[in-house]
Amino acid sequence: MSKVSRREFVQSSAIAAVATAAAGTLAAQGPTIITRRTVRPVIISSANGNAYRNGGKMTCVEKAFTMMTEGADILDAVVAGVNINELDPLDDSVGFGGLPNSEGIVQLDASCMHGPKKRAGAVAAIEGVRTPSLVALKVLHETDHHLIVGKDAQRFARNFGFEIEDDLNTPNSRKKYLEWRRMIDPSHFLDPDKRADAADLTARQLMSREMMNREHYYGTINCNGVNAKGEVCGVTTTSGLAWKIPGRVGDSPILGAGLFVDGDVGAAGSTGRGEANLFNLSSHLIVEKMRQGMSPKDAGMEALKRIRSNTIEKRLLNSKGNPNFGVTFYIVNTRGDYAGVAMYEAKQFAVCTEAGAKTLVCDSLLTGKPTD
């Protein structure tokens, strides 16, 4: 048996003591348990998502949240939610009874994006189908494409069994259209500047007479959600700008403009002036800012600031040099954090959680009104 020197004995005793102490500490702490991050399931939408029921018991956000928490695919849930608004003739910003174009024809746009599957579908300037969001969903599931437009979108819908109607106007939307035509210059051939001014003035007069909801001049419902697994999806559907030039397509069916979803980050959608979102690809910008670590609110504010700085044409500015139009964003990340942000104060958004559905006031970039 070999002899152990005094130095070796002391060193080995010290190591044993450290090991014993460490083992005691770990025993006191207990086993290490790795837990998943907590996700708060939530549905967020534009304010009309908690205002219409189409004769039923649930609003858009309530329907979507119920389906999602009962196990439905989240995109199916949010699309089923906006179907309520598309089919409700009282909501003249989308679908059946949506405010028509300058020729009295209802042309609809919609898009949807599936975060986990990283797929998308959209239709634009489609006529005769009350639920364009469902046609967009078919594009996502049944084709290798993202966007189908016009008569071909209608033909695509017919081939998949959608009912095609000759006219999607309701007595409400037709009355407002005829009033608009009556008030605008009957020749309808003013020079471009005067025609734009006349059309805008007429719309404002209709709003002031409470014949037309200010929110519905630009139309649209956006609805996004995240489930308990952190899966996120979104949908946007609209009848577009009231009295628009036939064939005009706004931001709603354009990925990255009126809607953008990244399954690893979150979702953003919008209502308001579509041209501003098209120019700035606002929804994509918001999601990218969240990817960089921003909160939904801060990311939305960045997009509003970008729109403000890029709006320089005099016709689009008010007396203070700010945009004379509104834009609102509805944002959620994969943790379930959400925000509604708007260019101007007093705008609202809808949200549904385990606590139920609520309509909340958006955070705003600017005070006052677009017309100040």
Query: Residue 165: which CATH number?
Result: 3.60.20.30
Separation of alpha carbons 197 and 200, rounded Å: 5
What is the per-residue pLDDT for 206? Answer: 54
Query: What backbone phi and psi angles, to 5 degrees, belong to 21?
Result: -65, -45
Is 265 a member of any domain? yes
Is 32 a member of any domain? no
220 included as an active-site residue:
yes
Is 144 a member of any domain? yes
What is the per-residue pLDDT for 181? Answer: 83
Q: Per-residue confidence at 38, pLDDT binned at 50, 70, 90?
A: confident
Q: Which of 202, 220, 238, 271 is catalytic?
A: 220
Is 372 a member of any domain? no
Residue with tokens 């709603």: 252
How many domains would you assign to the chain?
A: 1
Tens-digit pLDDT profile for residues 87-146: 999 999 999 999 999 999 999 999 999 999 999 999 999 999 999 999 999 999 999 999
The structure's pTM equals 0.84
Is 166 a member of any domain? yes
Q: Per-residue confidence at 281, pLDDT binned at 50, 70, 90?
A: very high
Closest CA to 104 of 6, 242, 230, 302: 242
Q: Per-residue confidence at 36, pLDDT binned at 50, 70, 90?
A: very low
Separation of alpha carbons 193 and 196, rounded Å: 5
Whether residue 219 contacts residue 270, with contact meaning beta carbons closer than 8 Å, is answered with: no
Domain extent at residue 288: 42-366
Is 10 a member of any domain? no
Query: 187 vs 190, 191, 194, 245, 343, CA distance in Å?
Result: 7, 11, 12, 16, 35
Helix boundaries (H) for 184-229: 192-208
Phi-psi region of 224 (alpha: psi -120 to 50; beta: other; left: phi over 0): beta
